[in-house]
Structures are given as C-alpha cells and as structure tokens.
Amino acid sequence: MGKRGSGILIHITSLPSKYGIGDMGPDAYKFVDFLSDAGQSLWQILPLNQTNAEYGNSPYSSFSAFAGNHLLISPERLVKTGFLDNNDINHPHDFSGDRVDYNKVAVYKEGLLQKAFERMKDKLPEHQEFQHFCKANLYWLDDYTLFMSIKESYGEIEWGDWPEHLRDRNNEALIETRNKFKVSILKEMFLQFLFFNQWYSLKNYCDSKNIKIIGDIPIYVNYDSADTWANPEIFSLDENRKPDNVAGVPPDYFSSTGQLWGHPVYRWDVIKQSGYTWWIKRITHNLNLFHMFRLDHFRGFVGYWQVHSSELTAINGKWMPAPAEDFFRSLLEHVPAAAIIAEDLGIITDDVRAIINKFGFPGMKVLLFAFGEDLPTNPYAPHNHVRNCVIYTGTHDNNTINGWYKSELSGEDRKRISLYLGRDITADNINWELIRLAMMSVADMAIIPMQDILGLGEKERMNLPASANGNWEWRVKQEQLSGTLSEKLLNMALIYGRYKQIQ
C-alpha cells in the first residue's frame, strides 16, 4: 500500500437513522464527517447486496451478486431528490435505535418505495438518468429483475423448482414472461436505480473527505440467485439444474464434521474458457462501488473443498484445484492489485501463501487470535506483523474485545496479555489497549470495529457464525459518536502516523 492509514469497520445497517435501519441518508454523511474529524482514512463495510429474511438477513446470502439492498435506501434522500414528499416520511414507526427489526423495516420501507414507484412509473420511459442507468447495467439488471419478478409470482420458491421452460430459460418463454411482468420488472429496475443513485452520492462525499471505502466480496453466491439461474454453465449443477457439488470446509479443530455451506461450487474450467468474464464483471462492478475490497475466503481461489450435494456433513469432501495464477493475472488486467485485500484467516497452505505473495495482496491479521500459547511465533502478534497487511482487533464474525476478554479467555490467556503489554490489563481497559496495539503496528492499514471502539460486550457483536437468529442487527446511536471519541481517535492517528495518509 505504501502509506499508513486507519479506519472503522461498521456496516451501513448499523448506522443511526429514525427509520429502523442505518441507510444512505443524513446520518451516513454525519458518520463520514466523524471519520474525517477523527483523522481516519478508511471505512470498511459488509456486502451491499440484497438481503432477505429467508437467509437470516445476512449480507453474505443474496439473490444477486450485483444488486443493491433497497432497505438501505434513505427516505430523506428520496424527498431531497423529488421521489417522495415530506408528508410521506413525517410519521415513521416507533423503531428501535438499538437493533434492526428487519421485518418491521421491510414493511415500512417497501411501502414508501411502492409509493415512490407509483408516482414515477409513467415518467420512467422518458427519465434520462434512469434510462442511462438501465442501459449501463443491462448485463446483470435484466436477468436480476426478471428473476425477482418470476420468483415473486411463484411464491418465492427456488428457481430450480420453477416450470421447466422458465427454469431452463427457454427464449420464447422469457420473452413472454418479460412482457407479462413488465410492471414488476420496471419497479425492480427503479429500486436499483434509487439504490445506486444514493450510494454514488455517498461515495462521492467520502471522496471529498479523502475517506476510502473498503467493501467485501463473498467468494460464493447462493444457489437461489439470479447469478446461478442466468449462468448455470459456470456452476456445478446437475441435469435438473440443482446443485451437484457444493462448497464448505473440511473437519478441523473447531468442527469435527467441517462446515457445509451449500453454495454450488464454480466450474473453473468453464470460467477459464470464457476468459473469466463473469468474475471480471462482478469485481469491476464492485470496484465502482468501493475503493478497495476484501476477497472473502481467499484460499478458495487456489483450492476449494468440494462436497457432493447428497452429503449431510462436509466430512466426505475433497480438495479441488482452481486456476488461481491465471485467474488473478487476467483479473489484474482490469483491476489494480492495490484494490484487493486477501481474507487469509485460518489455516493457509503454502500454495495459497505463494499466490498472495506473487501478486502482492495484503493479508489480514486479527489481534484476538494473537495471545495463545504460541504467542512468540504467532503471526497475528504485533511483533510478527509485516507492512503489507491489514491489522484488525476483530472482524464482523468475532466477538467484541470486551466479550472475548470476559467469556473466551482463560486466566493464563489474560496473564499472557498483561505480560505482553507490561501492565495490568482488565475488562475496563482491554479494548483501548488492543486498539493501541493495532494502531502502532507496522501494518499499513489498521481497521477497528465500532463496537470495540465503544467498548461494547458480546451482546453487541455483529454476527455469531452458525447461529440463525439475532445477527446483523446491532446499531450505533448518534450520541455515541461524540466529539470526545473522535478526538481520542484523532490523537492516536496522529501519534502513530496514520492521520489521513491513504489517498
């Protein structure tokens, strides 16, 4: 990277707003101001893709790898741009400021968005900005909007259970269906137009404050998505267009049966023959949204664990090779290497490390993983860091520092941390001690989750992997983003040479 910098990890949904969920409205702009006042140069978020209750509202499980989440559309910005009136948004529900109630938010926001669409639908054929957006995004928008319209008409069942002529994309059937659902398709296009219009305005504001956005790209896509329906040839599907081989990870220290994720694995041979077209389109699309991005489960681009769809656990899988070197060489003809962060957590083999080193991608270090019995040689320990990496106190999948210290550490672990830092460490000061370690690290970039900055406990963690309920709900309150807090972060950024350096 070449220049030091630091920032905060907080997803859009966790920001303040009076509409039940963080969105791209005034409070998002205030948060950018907070980052700027605190001397920060980076804002890391989670995927912006469409979420749904069926998949636990996870931003990592979506009906599209391209479409944006319409729940993040700001009602106030809709008024500002003339798509709604003030009277439409003057009486929001009594939403919680602490947690996102996704069902309640969806009912309210979808009502507002329907109202905006009814007001605009007759004008859209002549709306130049809307038409330009549709034309520029034709390569994914047409399939996505048709997919969502068909899915709604069949009671949200998976596309593999649709009538065969739609499942298999019979050309005449698609033409007929597009005509049948033209109003629904137009609405879906309109929602995506609103989302991207608001997002690019927010991104431009970040640019004006020299704040870089770090996005997140999951390696796999859902089986039940527009991507697999529109591109079945690049996924491992059987003759009935159902998953044949699926992704996961093998048994390890954490799980005797491994993890069975269920996403169809890629047919890398077919993708390679195409010149990696779908992947290049996906990543260049994301790079329009972000300044840089984290490639989730990076080791899967080198070799991936493949399990037959009939298996109930991940035990009986096998490692399969992927054309990593050829893929990244092709990708870097379209995307700068400096935009990519490799999520290389967990057990990383030599072949994966070789690819990361060959292309110079920064990896990740997590302080919560640093203080075991192997502390002297642990790669996450600060004295073993390298410049070309991103240091985190924790990620969205980890406990908070406070929760980790109180409920996950043994007495020996706590003693080891105190010995490492040379002073007594308690639950009251552990969060700022680790934040200071991250900020003083030689790592080019340091990212701190907002919950750790606020010293919050495990109930405020963003996600507990393998749990179905209560995830992705935490929110910060505006009063927590105080001038005192920004000044404390500013002083750290100044003293450790991270003050707004990355540009």
DSSP 342-396: E---S---HHHHHHHHHHT--EEEEGGGS-STTTTT-TTSGGG--SSEEEES--T
Q: How far apart are CA 496 and CA 316, in angstroms?
A: 48
Active-site annotation holds for 397: yes
Please choose, from the candidates 408, 401, 397, the residue with its C-alpha nearest in 3D space to the C-alpha of residue 11: 397
* Helical segments of 292-335, H only: 324-331
What 3-state DSSP class applies to 155? Answer: coil
What 3-state DSSP class applies to 199? Answer: helix
Does the reported pTM lie above 0.85? yes
Cβ count near 420 (within 10 Å): 18
Cβ 83 vs Cβ 194: under 8 Å: yes
Q: Strand pairing partners for 49?
A: 68
How would you class 142 by CB atoms within 10 Å of its CB: exposed for 0-12, middle for 13-18, buried for 19 or more? middle
Active-site annotation holds for 296: yes
Q: How far apart are CA 51 and CA 59, in angstroms?
A: 6
Catalytic residue among 296, 311, 325, 413: 296
Residue 324 confidence (pLDDT): 98
Catalytic residue among 76, 224, 343, 452: 343
Cβ 503 vs Cβ 210: under 8 Å: yes
Cβ 227 vs Cβ 221: under 8 Å: yes
Strands (E), 175-291: 212-217, 245-249, 259-264
CA 112 to chain centre: 25
Residues in the chain: 503
For the chain, 503 residues long, give each residue's pLDDT as a single digit of tens: 458 999 999 999 999 999 999 999 999 999 999 999 999 999 999 999 999 998 999 999 999 999 999 999 999 999 999 999 999 998 777 898 999 999 999 999 999 999 999 999 999 999 999 999 999 999 999 999 999 999 999 999 999 999 999 999 999 999 999 999 999 999 999 999 999 999 999 999 999 999 999 999 999 999 999 999 999 999 999 999 999 999 999 988 768 899 899 999 999 999 999 999 999 999 999 999 999 999 999 999 999 999 999 999 999 999 999 999 999 999 999 999 999 999 999 889 999 999 999 999 999 999 999 999 999 999 999 999 999 999 999 999 999 999 999 999 999 999 999 999 999 999 999 999 999 999 999 999 999 999 999 999 999 999 998 788 899 999 999 999 999 999 999 999 999 999 976 65
Active-site annotation holds for 269: no
Cβ count near 383 (within 10 Å): 12
Please choose, from the candidates 253, 371, 359, 264, the residue with its C-alpha nearest in 3D space to the C-alpha of residue 307: 264
Residue 1 confidence (pLDDT): 47
Residue 91 confidence (pLDDT): 79
Catalytic residue among 37, 142, 325, 397: 397
